[in-house]
Structures are given as structure tokens and as C-alpha cells.
Amino acid sequence: MNSSLEKRVDQLRAQIRAYDYQYYVLDDPTVPDAEYDRLMRELIELETQNPVLIRDDSPTQRVSGAPVDSFKEVQHEVPMLSLGNAFSREELDAFDNRVRDRLNIQSSVSYNAEPKLDGLAVSVLYEKGQLVRGATRGDGHSGEDITENVRTIRSIPLRLTGKNVPERLEIRGEVFMSKHGFERMNELARKNDEKEFVNPRNAAAGSLRQLDPRLTAKRPLEMFCYGFGVIFEDVLPVEHYARLQQLKKWGLRVCPLVEVVTDVEGCWKYYQKILQLRDQLDYEIDGVVYKVNDTVLQQELGFVSRAPRWAVAHKFPAQEEITQVREVDFQVGRTGAITPVAKLEPVFVGGVTVSNATLHNMDEVERKDVRKGDTVIVRRAGDVIPEVVKVVKERRKKGARKIKLPKVCPECGNEISRIEGEAVARCVAGFSCPAQRKGALKHYASRNAMDIEGLGDKVIDQLIDRNLVANLDEIYRLDKDTISGLDRMGDKSAENLLAAIEKSKQVPLAKFIFALGIREVGEATAIALSDHFNHDLDAIMAAGEDDLQSVPDVGPIVAKRIAQYFASNNNKRLIKRLRADIRWTDSNVASDNAASDLLAGNVYVLTGTLASMSREQAAGKLRALGAKVTGSVSKNTTAVIAGDKAGSKLQKAEKLGVPVLSEQELLGLITEK
């Protein structure tokens, strides 16, 4: 055999393995896909032309096995045990106490801590550094031989690299599917009209147990290594954490969140940290695992029944639980949207007791076929509103009746309309519906809108229920007696609320636009509108749908909603009344906030850093004198006011021949006038 050919083949394999390691293990690719593909194609070509060179551990041989009828049984030389669980701080304390009592240690113990992945435990055996077998856990003593499927997982090297690889090394870890991999797979399934997987764990389990490895190869499976079975000869460091670091050096993948923590407080802090991170991780986890870090101490502790005494799984509160639907109610939101809500038999899920779960809209109710009395799976992840995931149909009682959309609004008795093609049904009554009034006022007062501290849900409910406020502007007419007459409102709270209402009269225009609660207009759109129309509400109100569509990110639907909102006479009257009280801090309309009209008709642009005040303060003073302040220089600009380090706007002014004023000249304009 041509030795330069063999050399090239070896070189290509080494390079591809190194790239695989960087990509799949370190999650840090160093070359573009095209370069990787080029090397792989060259290797395939050389191997195809010279089949004697093909080796089992070549990167080209990941999908090499033929489909099988069933999996062979594998006996685990070292049993694959399970872990004891801790569900509370008390149970965690008890674990740590047991460890220290048994070891007779009064001082602190170091633990290796890592997330507990919600996947499948797998054993991977390397002999002389070559992957020779992959197996499922099975009953812990014997599992199934899934070698051909394990070989297709790119984060599992077909051969180990680096120094001092033991003669025989059995690694244990969790095979899982990332959340984004799962989404991608289900997207494909939907496109191909195939059945979707319920969750990443089921998808990983189904993929790993495919009898045809070519199918497994198409599934985005990954593995994190966390433990050991057979090790011969044991050249590994004494500490578990250091052992995991050694695995990385041999090319295996270890969860990047592994840490050594000290005593039970360290464990608790780690648990809180990972719980916070949980929703941001791209893989599902159901808790954290602590292991006594010193493996000599691990041996001393040994096992009890089928679990190690030196490790425990500290479980997170379940994110999914099973419960019953008592009733389905319909809630009316601020835009009149009618949302079906399942009233549940209270259930502890995701760390809180949940008794309501959203069903989103009638399409969802119909798709999931939820009925009164049904047994359902409820999910609460992070701070998201709990939702009904699915119905356990096998438990449905005979005669359970379908849920129907009510004929009239449950809050005001007015008509409900469901527009063809829209999933959401709405009460058409607008502000005559008390639920919509409450919703609108809650939104108006909320932190990101007018930010009226003290005007919370309970106060608003009372104001509407007692007919003290009929529309948004009426909050500016509330007096101390009225407010202090509300439940749980003393004189002091009433004064504070009045002060907060007063403070809300000065806001940037974008906040006010957002606060109006126009459908499809969120904070970003409100800012974009205000900026685009130069902080001029009249200009926004007068804009047609075409003009509105020239605002960044405003498409035809949003433009239509905005135009519809401002076309309504009721809304126009409301805004007129609100304008009697509110001054926008950035308005360019003289009548909105100008104390004089001395600079009326002048348009200024501020650029660079001013020494005596911020640009916003300067803009406020200019506007108070009737001037407009804009962000871009044009031939209509009266002057550019240039502070320190002025950049492109100054250059543009010079190019267009627009006068440039210094800060000194600005001060001359705005003081003592």
C-alpha cells in the first residue's frame, strides 16, 4: 500500500476527529462546514477507492451497522444503579448528615455537583481506546446492546484520544435530545404529516431504540458523561471532578455546569443557581446530582440496596402534573379577547399550587378536545402561565360534553364575535364591558406603560366595580376622599397614589402610546412610532396605513390596527381629554408642552456631549420654547448644536450648509428667556 496514501488517510481522520471534538464536545467549531465537508468527502473517496484502508473507528463509519430484528442482551459487569432522591432542603440536609455520620466527619464535605439531565442512562465501553459497545441501562444488571445506534452520536468519539487511556474503560452518561433539536424534528414531522414527539425525552428514547441505525443517525442525539463502570487499569485521579476533567481530555463530553461545592450550603446554592438557569438551558433537566467528590470516601460509603450512599439526586419541583378539570370558564381581556380557562382540582406543579390553566382559545380547546371532568396534564415552566398540555383520554368519563363558546360575553352580556380565520373570539362591547375597562386601566397603569405605583389590580377592580372610573382619563379626576374610601386604603396610601398619578402626567410619548393599549402595539412599536413621527402624536394620529408601514417593523396588520384605533371618535375624544393633563417629555408639538413660542418654527439637532446638561435636558428646554428637536439633519434643520466629540451629524450639517452652534450659543438661546 502506498504509504503517502495511508498518511493522507490518517491525516484526514485526525483532522476530522479534532473538528468533531471542537464541534460536538467543546461546542466551539473552528472551521466552516464547507471545509469539514471537503475533508470528509476526500476521506470517503480515498476509502472507497482503497477499501482495505477502512477501519471501524474511521469518522466515515459512524453509520455502519445493518438494521436488526431485535437488540441483543448485555450483562453489565458493574451494575448500573439508580440514585436516591431528595425533594426538599430537609432531605438534602439528611443526605449530608448521613454522609458525614457514616464517615465520622464533623467538618465539611466536598461534593461534585451537576445538572440531572432528563434523558436516558447509557453505558459506553472502550477497549484499547476503541468504542466497542453501547448499552442501555435496562434493569441495571442487563440492558440492550445499542452499539450501532450509539456509534451514530457525534459527541461520542469512536476512539479516545490523548495519553494514558485505560485498557478497558466503561463510561456512563445521559443521552438526550436538545430542546432546539427536538423542535426542529417536530417541525419536520409536521411538514411531512408525521406524528410529533411529545417531549425531548421520549424523542431521545424512541431514537435510541431504533432497529435501523440509519434512522438514529438522523436524530439530533447528544451525550453528557457523568460516571464510570469498569476501569482497568484505574489510572484516573482520586477526585470525581478531576476524573470528569480527564474524560474531556480523552475526547468525551461532560456537562459544562459541573462544579465542586462545599458542604450542604454549597449544594443548596448550586441547586438554586441551576433552578434559575433551567429554562435557559437547551436541554431538559429535572434536578441536580451531588456526589461525594473523593472517590476513596465513595468506596467507604458504599451502597444501600440499589443506590450509592455517596450520591443523591436533588429533584426540582415537577413541571408537569396530572389533575382534573372542574370547569371551564371564559375570561375577558382588555382587548375583549375571550380566553377559555380550565378551573382545576388544585395541584402542586413547578413549585406552586395551580388551580387555573389557560386553554388559549377555542381552536386549542377543540384541538386538545378538553371537556369538563377530564383528567389532564398541566404544565408550569418558569414564570409562564400554566397550561393544559393534553387530556388523558383513557380516563374520560362517559358522556363528558364538549366545551362551547358562550353566546354572549360572560362579563357584560354583549355580543361575541369570532372573525373567520381568527382563533380568538372577542366581546364587541369595548369600554362598555367592565372586564375590558379593568384590563385597559391595568395596562395603562402598569410599570412599562404609565407606571402609576399603587394603582394595582385590586384598586382598579374596586374603581370599576363601584363606577368611580369609567375611562382612562377619569383617574386624573380622582380625589383623596374617593381613594381613601376604597378597601384597604388609608389616608397615607391615598396621598401616595395621588402623587403617583400626578407624576404619571409627564412621560415620553412612546410610553403613552403603549399605555393606550392599541392592539398589536407593544413597547418596541410604540417607541418606533414615536421616533419615526418625531414625537408628534398629531402626526401619528393623522398617518394613513401606508405612512404607518414606513415605520420599522410595522407591517400591514399593525398599521391597520393603529389607523383603526385613531379613526375611532371615542378614542379621539379620550386622547383629547387625556391631553388636558398629560405632557410628553419629548413632544415636538409646541402646544403640548411649550411654555413660550419664542423658538417656534425652529428645528434643532443635538449632537456630541454637552458639558452643562444632557442632550435630553437640552431638548426639553428647546421644546419648552416652542422649538422642535429631531434626530437627523436635513436642509430644514435650523441649526445643529454640537457638543464634544460630535460626529457624522456635524459633518452632514457642514455639507448641507446648516449653521452649527456651540454649547455656549445654545445656553444663550435657552437661558433667561
Name the residues that contact ligand I6G, by CB under 6 A. Answer: 81-83, 114, 116, 121, 174, 226-227, 289, 308, 311
Nearer to ligand I6G, 53 or 275 (CB): 275
Q: Which of 289, 283, 300, 235 is nearest to 259 (CA)?
A: 289
Q: How far is the CB of 234 from ligand I6G (least distance, A)?
A: 16
| CA atoms of 301 and 299, how far apart (whole Å) | 5
| Under 8 Å between Cβ of 297 and 240 | no
Q: Is 344 left (phi over 0), alpha (psi -120 to 50) or beta?
A: beta
| Minimum distance of ligand I6G from residue 244's CB (angstroms) | 10
- Measured CA to CA, the distance from residue 127 to residue 589 in angstroms comes to 79
**Which long-range contacts link 7-14 to residues 24+ away (Cβ below 8 Å)?**
8/46, 9/43, 9/46, 9/47, 9/50, 9/53, 12/39, 12/42, 12/43, 12/46, 13/43, 13/58, 13/59
Query: E strand or H helix at 319, and its extent?
Result: none
| CB 267, min distance to ligand I6G, A | 13
CA angle at residue 573 from 568 to 574, to 5 degrees?
95
Q: How far is the CB of 322 from ligand I6G (least distance, A)?
A: 23
Residue number with CB closer to ligand I6G (19 or 310): 310
DSSP string, 485-554: TSTT--HHHHHHHHHHHHHTTEE-HHHHHHHTT-TT--HHHHHHHHHHTTT-HHHHHH--HHHHHTSTT-
Q: Which lies closer to ligand I6G via its Cβ, residue 116 or residue 371?
A: 116
Helix (H, G, I), strand (E, B) or coil at 398: coil
Give 81 or 185: the residue with its C-beta nearer to ligand I6G.
Answer: 81
* Dihedral angle computed from the Cα positions of residues 402, 403, 408 and 412, in that order, rounded to the nearest 10 degrees: 150
Question: Where does 87-135 have alpha helices with state H?
Answer: 89-103
Q: Which residue's CB is nearer to ligand I6G, number 227 or number 434? A: 227
What's the CA gap between 333 and 361, in Å, rounded?
12
Q: Per this entry, what is the length of the chain? A: 673
CB of 226 to ligand I6G, least distance (A): 4
CA distances from 471 to 293, 464, 548, 561, 633 (A): 64, 9, 27, 20, 40
Per the CB < 8 A criterion, the answer to whether 250 and 183 are in contact is no
CB of 304 to ligand I6G, least distance (A): 12
- Strand 660-661 and strand 639-642: the pairing is parallel
Question: Which one from 116, 291, 438, 511 is the annotated catalytic residue?
Answer: 116
Taking the complex as a whole, the smallest distance from the CB of residue 272 to ligand I6G amounts, in Å, to: 18
State the nearest-atom distance from the C-beta of 568 to ligand I6G, in Å.
59
Q: Which residues have a Cβ under 8 Å from the Cβ of 575 and sit 6 or more positions away?
A: 516, 537, 541
Query: Is the Cβ of residue 82 or residue 496 nearer to ligand I6G in the bound state?
Result: 82
In whole angstroms, give the CA distance from residue 637 to residue 657.
10
Are the CB atoms for 640 and 649 separated by under 8 Å?
yes
Residue closer to ligand I6G, measured from CB, 202 or 609: 202
Q: Which is nearer to ligand I6G, 60 or 178 (CB)?
A: 178
- 322 DSSP β-pair partners: 377
Is the Cβ–Cβ distance between 168 and 34 less than 8 Å? no
Cα separation, 502 vs 161, whole angstroms: 70
Q: Which residues of 52-95 form beta strands (DSSP E)?
A: 73-75, 84-86
Q: Closest CB to ligand I6G among 114 and 592? A: 114
**Phi and psi torsions of 346, nearest 5°:** -55, 140
Q: Closer to ligand I6G at the Cβ: 61 or 82?
A: 82
- Judged by beta carbon, residue 113 or residue 629, the one nearer ligand I6G is 113
CA angle centred on 79, ends 246 and 289, rounded to 5°:
55
Report the alpha-carbon distance of residue 542 to residue 441 in Å, rounded: 25
Can 163 be counted among the known catalytic residues? Answer: no
Q: Is the dihedral of CA 455, 460, 466, 467 positive or negative?
A: positive
**At residue 49, what are phi and psi to the nearest 5 degrees?**
-75, -25
Torsion sign across C-alpha atoms 203, 208, 212, 216: positive
CB of 104 to ligand I6G, least distance (A): 23
CB of 82 to ligand I6G, least distance (A): 6
Q: How many CA atoms within 13 Å lie on the side-chain side of 478?
A: 30
For ligand I6G, the closer of residues 302 and 647 by Cβ is 302
CA quadruple 328, 329, 334, 336: dihedral positive or negative?
positive
Task: List residues with catalytic annotation.
Answer: 116
